[in-house]
A and B are shown apart, each in its own frame.
Chain A
Amino acid sequence: MKTILVTLGLLLAITTTSRLARAWDGPTMWYESATGGPGGADGPGGGGIIGTGGASDHNITCANCHIKGDANYGTVDFKPTFNPPIGATYKLGQTYQVTFAMVGEHLGLGQCMPYMKNINGFAAAFEDDSGKPVGSFRASYGSTTSCPPTIPKDSTDATYTYNDCHAVIGHDTNASWTFSWTAPAVSTPVTLYYAGVDGDCMMDSLMDDAKVGTMKLGGGVAMRDAPASGNRALAWLGLLPAIGFFAASRRAQQRR
């Protein structure tokens, strides 16, 4: 009986410990205070610096923390796909579904030790040449238009945008992240800043792999060449009176 009690006690200790065993890059931690305060709140956190490499993050990247990489450092990549395809530049006001897939993941794939996880990371931001966020996000949780102040703890959504919504953050156990981005309605040069981490099981920022990239999206063009399906339907609705008038004229001619 005594053994059982001791064992249960130790298991309780492990459970209590695991409550704190959250990765630095847990999605709730990015906007927590870097000092952990005030008043003993959770932390330390990222203080709102997401590490995309954009001006909104002071050009700080994920690689500023994820250092001392393993032997295969630099082999992971994060490939974006736009739907509809973005081509040479974006279309003004177009909403794109953007999916980033981690290619070449090579860390944390085996069995992690108890209470450890294969923690990855991803974040992206769209900025104009002055460094201001442009367009709007809709993530699995949160959107620019109704930007939530926080996200639920232990949420399992794939992507998040919250607090100041300057970036989209990926859930840390995924290897693919999808969100939508609506391009600005007014033409302006846009750069996509993105950064990702292939984490190992150790839940620290050492010995991981990291990739930082940018993608110039040009200055944007009007959407008349490829209107969205919704806009196309509206256009047909607008033509209905003309079609009705044309049909009525034909019928009148036939009667004569």
Chain B
Amino acid sequence: MKRTLTVFAVFSVCAIFAQYVAENLTEFKENIAAQKEEAKDALDPYRFDGSKVTYFNYKTYRQTKEVEIYLFNDTDYRFSFNGKSLPNDITVQIYDKDKTMADRVMLKEFNGLQGKNLVIESTELNKAYAAKKNETIRLKRVFVDYVIPATPGASNKTPTMKDRGAITLVMGYK
């Protein structure tokens, strides 16, 4: 009888725990969907082209997640970043080349995305590129780096809800 009760109790704990985690995940995903809408609204008058949600867990060491975006001729772009699923702030850096290239040029850097929706346009990036390279060559792609700071006390192997973060990036063109 005792063994049956024990098995039942363990099973119940697992079931309740699984349901609890699932509810948190559902809420997290619903928040992301709402944030994507908010970021999309900030694109106007640019046309929506797609989105990229970058998920990560804060860890005790610094991490960088990179997203490559193409910029085509005669087209202007707007990038709408939503940081409302960031429990802690991160740094956003935008480069002309990927993180393996030592000679890459940083075109833009900003903090303070946590809890906000911020917008960047390709014209600004092209101007920065022209100024830094002293040339009028147009950017053909950019690399958005999310620099996630080291977070003391974070659980690297078994992340908790408070360690989780996401940035929603929505792209528009005209």
A and B bind:
no
- Partner-A contacts on B (CB < 8 A): none
- Partner-B contacts on A (CB < 8 A): none
